[in-house]
Amino acid sequence: MEDALEKLERMSAQMTLEPAEEHAPASNPHATAACGHTPADLARAFGTASERTSVSVKEPKKNSLGIHHAIMPGGQRIALLKTMLTTVCERNCNYCPFRKGRDFRRATFRADEMASVFAQLHRSRVVEGLFLSSGVAGGGPSTQDRLIDTIDILRRKQGYRGYVHLKLMPGTQRDQVHRAMQLADRLSINLEAPTQPALTRLAPMKVLIEELLQPLKWAAEIKQAGPPRGSLTGRWPSLATQFMVGPGGESDVDLLAMTQTLNKKVGLQRAYFSAFRPLTDTPFENLTAENPWREHRLYQASFLLRDYGFEFEDLPFGKSGHLPLDADPKVGWARMNLTETPVEVNKADRRDLLRVPGIGPRGVEAILRERQRGTLRELGDLRKLGVLAQRAAPFVLLDGRRPPAQLALM
């Protein structure tokens, strides 16, 4: 077990580069926050980095094993082990710490070894869920077989029925996608870039459509073909992807157009955006780090597309094809569309209420319920419903009247 823990420690050093679930690191001052909240709000909600990574066990090295507190889409928090089968990789992605030829000490698990290690950590209540990725070693399909074997052993031999987020490798085959869907709660494949030219700059050996987009299309087809027969979870998994933001030269238009396409065509549950940070001993080591506020705005815009009924054309892109960094995109849209024609909270439908800054899906439902009891007349009435009332104030009417308001930038 000690050798296995040492390998987990070596793998964990760069696993923060792989976002997983609704995790938002409070140690990052520009961390992802839902629309209507600032990164400072998020930091207060999540506590300090040490509070987030602590787990109630006695092992002295628990925080260095790659254990992260992740937030499930329903709000439940779990201790998630983020790790890899191997840090050996035959690909030469220009930004990646695991790229071929980079000089560092590699680590590899066998499928049965990884399943056994995780099962022990789970039985000891150190972890509750697993995020499993891998470097590409021996080709994408061969690597995918080892990933699938790991989860199959974990499910069937170790009896684990908890949460699994499993990575799909570049070039994985349709039958492998199907089997992975029967074993995992979430599947993801890193597209890295929204266009082939941008992907080539980032990862010269990767092919966007055939290698990376195709597995997502197969997963959508399998879902549409019928119920999840043979699934050990009883349902089809959600789908996610990740983009590296910055060094590929992609625009926000490119990223969010692809995000909306995947939302609609394959049922993508989550797009992750990782602001580029240079790493030593990589071809991109001398490039400038991407502004983390760009990552933050991309997340906010992607939530508008996923949860708020916005279309790609609604987003307030500048002439450069990027979102403004100094304003929440929902506020930007509202300034252009609602300043002169505010929404009457007591009469608006769900779609129009969702477009008001400060009102999220839960706030909308609370407003619709409260309207059945009486008329909303003051900002205090909205605050009681969990709405960020001062944020909404410039864009709403309450019983025909504009409430006092100040325009907020963020």
Rounded alpha-carbon distances, angstroms, from residue 314 to 304, 310, 362, 396: 10, 6, 22, 19
Rounded alpha-carbon distances, angstroms, from residue 342 to 137, 335, 376, 400: 57, 10, 15, 10
Q: What pLDDT is recorded for position 273?
A: 97
Q: Which CATH code fits 338-397?
A: 1.10.150
pLDDT in tens, 197-218: 999 999 999 999 999 999 999 9
pLDDT in tens, 127-140: 999 999 999 999 99
Domain 2-314, CATH homologous superfamily name and number: Aldolase class I (3.20.20.70)
Would the pLDDT of 54 be above 80?
Answer: no
Q: Where are the domains of the chain?
A: 2-314, 338-397
- The residue among 9, 7, 22 whose CA lies nearest residue 272 is 22
Q: What pLDDT is recorded for position 72?
A: 83
pLDDT band at 362 (very low <50, low <70, confident <90, very high): very high
Q: What pLDDT is recorded for position 246?
A: 97
Would the pLDDT of 120 be above 50?
Answer: yes
pLDDT band at 17 (very low <50, low <70, confident <90, very high): confident
Q: What pLDDT is recorded for position 277?
A: 95
Share of the chain above pLDDT 70, in %: 88
pLDDT in tens, 138-158: 999 999 999 999 999 999 999
pLDDT band at 2 (very low <50, low <70, confident <90, very high): low
Region of poorest pLDDT, from 43-57, 112-126, 204-218, 238-252: 43-57
The answer to whether 296 and 247 are in contact (CB under 8 A) is no
> Six-digit token pair at 143?
């690597």
Tell me the mean pLDDT in the region 7-11. 89
Q: Is 167 exposed, middle or buried (0-12, 13-18, 19+ CB in 10 A)?
A: buried
Region of poorest pLDDT, from 29-43, 204-218, 275-289: 29-43
CA distance 242 to 271: 6
Rounded alpha-carbon distances, angstroms, from residue 346 to 232, 377, 382: 46, 9, 11
Would the pLDDT of 229 be above 50?
Answer: yes
Beta carbons within 8 Å of 16's beta carbon, 6+ residues apart: 25
